[in-house]
C-alpha cells in the first residue's frame, strides 16, 4: 500500500537541514535523538520539522538547502527534460520539503518564486515522462519494468491509474482468449477448463 501524502510529509520532516539559531540553549534530549547545543549565529543541523517549528516562532533562519536554488534547479530541469531516463533527485522528498519550507518561510529562499516554478516544472516533466513510460509498458504488454530514480510521491501518484489500467488490460486479454477459444469450436466446459490452467 502506498503512503498518503501526509505520511510522506512526515518522512520529509525527518530530513536534516541547517538553521541559524537566534537563541542560546543547551543540548535538548528528545526521543528521536539529541539536538544542539544551540548558539545564536552558529549554524546547527536539525530535522526539518524542528527547523520549521523554530522558524515559525522566529527563533531561527533556515539555511537554504544546497539544491534549493535557481541555478541548480535550472540545470536539473534541463537534464530531466533532455534525458529519456529519470534523473536522480537531490532529495527523496523534494516536493514535500519544498512545499513545507515555502509554507512557513519562503523569505528564507533566494529567488523563491523562480525556485517554486522550477520545482513545479521538474515535477511536471517527470510526471509526463512517467505517464509515457506507463503507456509504453501497457502497449507492449510487458510483465515487468525497471524504473530507477522515482520518488515515493511519484510512484504513489501513478499507482492508482497504473493498477486500474493493468486490471482492465487483464480483463480485456481474458475476454479475447475466451472469444478465440469459442471461435475455435471449443465447448463451454473446454473453455472453462483451459482458462483455469
Q: What is the pLDDT of residues 133-183, one digit of tens each?
A: 888 877 777 666 777 899 989 888 876 666 656 666 667 667 777 667 666
Domain map (residue ranges) of the chain = 5-166
> pTM value?
0.79
Spatial separation of the C-alpha atoms in residues 158 and 140, rounded to whole Å:
18
3-state helix, strand, coil in the chain (%, to 5): 60, 10, 30
Of the candidates 75, 115, 81, which has an alpha carbon nearest to the alpha carbon of residue 99?
A: 115
- Residues of the chain falling short of pLDDT 70: 142-144, 159-170, 172-173, 178-179, 181-183, 186-188, 190-197
Contact 55, 104 (CB under 8 A): yes
CATH topology of domain 5-166: Methane Monooxygenase Hydroxylase; Chain G, domain 1 (1.20.58)
Amino acid at each position: 500500500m502506498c503512503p498518503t501524502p501526509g505520511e510522506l510529509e512526515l518522512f520529509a520532516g525527518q530530513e536534516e537541514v541547517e538553521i541559524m539559531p537566534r537563541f542560546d540553549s543547551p543540548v535538548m534530549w528528545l526521543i528521536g535523538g539529541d539536538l544542539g547545543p544551540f548558539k545564536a549565529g552558529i549554524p546547527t543541523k536539525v530535522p526539518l520539522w524542528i527547523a520549521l517549528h523554530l522558524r515559525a516562532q522566529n527563533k531561527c533562519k533556515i539555511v537554504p538547502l544546497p539544491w534549493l536554488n535557481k541555478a541548480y534547479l535550472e540545470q536539473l530541469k534541463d537534464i530531466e527534460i533532455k534525458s529519456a531516463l529519470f534523473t536522480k533527485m537531490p532529495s527523496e522528498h523534494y516536493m514535500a520539503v519544498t512545499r513545507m519550507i515555502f509554507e512557513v518561510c519562503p523569505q528564507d529562499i533566494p529567488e523563491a518564486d523562480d525556485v517554486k516554478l522550477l520545482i513545479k516544472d521538474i515535477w511536471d516533466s517527470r510526471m509526463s515522462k512517467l505517464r509515457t513510460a506507463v503507456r509504453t509498458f501497457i502497449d507492449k504488454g510487458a510483465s515487468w519494468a525497471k524504473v530507477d530514480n522515482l520518488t515515493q510521491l511519484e510512484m504513489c501518484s501513478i499507482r492508482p491509474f497504473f493498477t486500474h489500467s493493468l486490471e482492465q488490460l487483464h480483463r480485456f486479454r481474458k475476454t479475447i482468449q475466451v472469444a478465440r477459444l469459442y471461435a475455435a469450436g471449443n465447448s463451454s466446459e473446454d473453455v472453462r477448463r483451459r482458462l483455469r490452467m
